[in-house]
Amino acid sequence: MAEFAKSGNCFSCGLKSSMFCLLTDIQLDEINSNRQQVTFKKGETIFKSGGPLTHILCITSGMVKIFLEDKNNKKNLLLKIAKPTQLIGGPGFLVDELHHITAIALEDTKTCFIKVSDFKEIMAENSKFAFEFIKYRNERVIFYFQRLMDLTHKQTHGKIADTLLYLANEVYGSDSFDTLLSRQDLADMSAMTKESVIRIIKEFVESGIIACNNHHHFEIMDKNKLIKISKTG
Amino acid sequence: MAEFAKSGNCFSCGLKSSMFCLLTDIQLDEINSNRQQVTFKKGETIFKSGGPLTHILCITSGMVKIFLEDKNNKKNLLLKIAKPTQLIGGPGFLVDELHHITAIALEDTKTCFIKVSDFKEIMAENSKFAFEFIKYRNERVIFYFQRLMDLTHKQTHGKIADTLLYLANEVYGSDSFDTLLSRQDLADMSAMTKESVIRIIKEFVESGIIACNNHHHFEIMDKNKLIKISKTG
DNA sequence: CTGTTATGTTGATATATCTCAATCTTTTGT
DNA sequence: ACAAAAGATTGAGATATATCAACATAACAG
pLDDT at B213: 87
Cβ atoms of A108 and A42 within 8 Å: the answer is yes
**Which residue of A127, A140, A148 is in closest CB contact with B147?**
A148
**pLDDT at residue number A2:** 39
Q: Alpha-carbon distance A125 to A133, whole Å?
A: 13
For residue A18, is pLDDT > 70? no
Q: What's the mean pLDDT in A22-36?
A: 76
Tell me the chain B residues in contact with residue A95 when contact means C-beta distances shorter than 8 Å.
135, 138-139, 142
Report the candidate in B26, B100, B27, B103 with the shortest Cα–Cα distance to residue B58. B103
User: For residue A113, is pLDDT > 50?
Assistant: yes
How many angstroms separate the CA of A203 from the C1' of D18? 18
Give yes or no for residue A114 having a pLDDT over 70: yes
**Chain B residues close to A126, C-beta within 8 Å:** none
Q: Using CA atoms, how far apart are residues A115 and A56, in angstroms rounded to an integer?
A: 6
Contact indicator for B31, B23 with CB cutoff of 8 Å: yes
* 8 A C-beta contact, residue A38 and residue A47: no
Q: What is the pLDDT of residue A220?
A: 98
Confidence of residue A73 (pLDDT cuts 50, 70, 90): low
Which residues in chain B touch residue A100, judged by CB atoms under 8 angstroms apart?
141-142, 145
Best CA proximity match to A97, nearest among A71, A79, A119: A119
- Please report the sign of the dihedral spanned by the C-alpha atoms of residue A87, residue A89, residue A93, residue A95: positive
Residue A27's pLDDT band, with cuts at 50, 70 and 90, is: confident
Among the partner residues A91, A153, A233, nearest to B142 by beta-carbon distance: A91
Question: What confidence category does residue A11 fall into, taking pLDDT thresholds of 50, 70 and 90?
Answer: very low
CB contact under 8 A, B145 and A93: no
Rounded to an integer, the average pLDDT of A42-71 is 94
The yes-or-no verdict on residue A28 having pLDDT over 50 is yes
Q: What is the mean pLDDT of each run of 10 residues along chain B (233 residues)?
A: 41 52 75 82 94 94 95 87 91 96 94 91 90 93 97 97 98 96 97 97 96 93 97 88
Select the residue from A149, A192, A230 to test the B interface by mutation, using most B Cβ atoms within 10 A.
Answer: A149
Please tell me the distance from the alpha carbon of residue B230 to that of residue B165, in angstroms, as a whole number.
Answer: 9
Rounded mean pLDDT, A91-101: 96
**For residue A99, what pLDDT is reported?**
97
B137-175 pLDDT, tens per residue? 999 999 999 999 999 999 999 999 999 999 999 999 999
Range of lowest pLDDT (A19-23, A212-216, B173-177, B223-227): A19-23
A178: number of Cβ within 10 Å: 12
Residues from A contacting B (CB-CB < 8 Å) are 68, 70, 72-73, 75, 77, 79, 91-95, 100-101, 120, 123-125, 127, 130-131, 133-135, 137-142, 144-145, 147-149, 151-153, 191, 231-233
Distance of CA B206 to the CA centre of its chain: 30
Report the percentage of chain A scoring pLDDT > 70: 91
| Mean pLDDT, range A134-153, rounded to an integer | 96
Residue B89 has what pLDDT?
85
Write the secondary structure of chain A as one string of H (helix), E (strand) and C (coil): CCCCCCCCCCCCCCCCCCHHHHCCHHHHHHHHHHCEEEEECCCCEEECCCCECCEEEEEEECCEEEEECCCCCCCCEEEEEECCCCEECCCCCCCCCECCCEEEECCCEEEEEEEHHHHHHHHHHCHHHHHHHHHHHHHHHHHHHHHHHHHHHCCHHHHHHHHHHHHHHHHHCCCEEECCCCHHHHHHHHCCCHHHHHHHHHHHHHCCCEEEECCCEEEECCHHHHHHHHHHC
Please say whether the beta carbons of B121 and B161 come within 8 A.
no
CB contact (8 A) between residue A153 and residue B94: no
Distance in angstroms (rounded) separating the CA atoms of residues A186 and A188: 5
Q: Under an 8 A CB cutoff, do B231 and A151 touch?
A: no
Q: Is the per-residue pLDDT at A59 higher than 70?
A: yes
Enumerate chain B positions whose Cβ falls within 8 A of a Cβ in A.
68, 70, 72-73, 75, 77, 79, 91-95, 100-101, 120, 123-125, 127, 130-131, 133-135, 137-142, 144-145, 147-149, 151-153, 191, 231-233
Sheet containing strand B217-220, strands side by side = B176-178, B217-220, B210-213
* Sign of CA pseudo-dihedral B182, B185, B189, B191: positive
Which positions of chain D lie under 7 Å from any protein Cβ? Answer: 7-12, 16-21, 26-27
Which residues in chain B touch residue A70, judged by CB atoms under 8 angstroms apart?
A: 149, 153
CA B6 to chain centre: 27
Inform me whether the pLDDT recorded for A81 exceeds 90.
yes
Question: What average pLDDT score do residues A109-136 get?
Answer: 91
Residue B73 pLDDT: 66
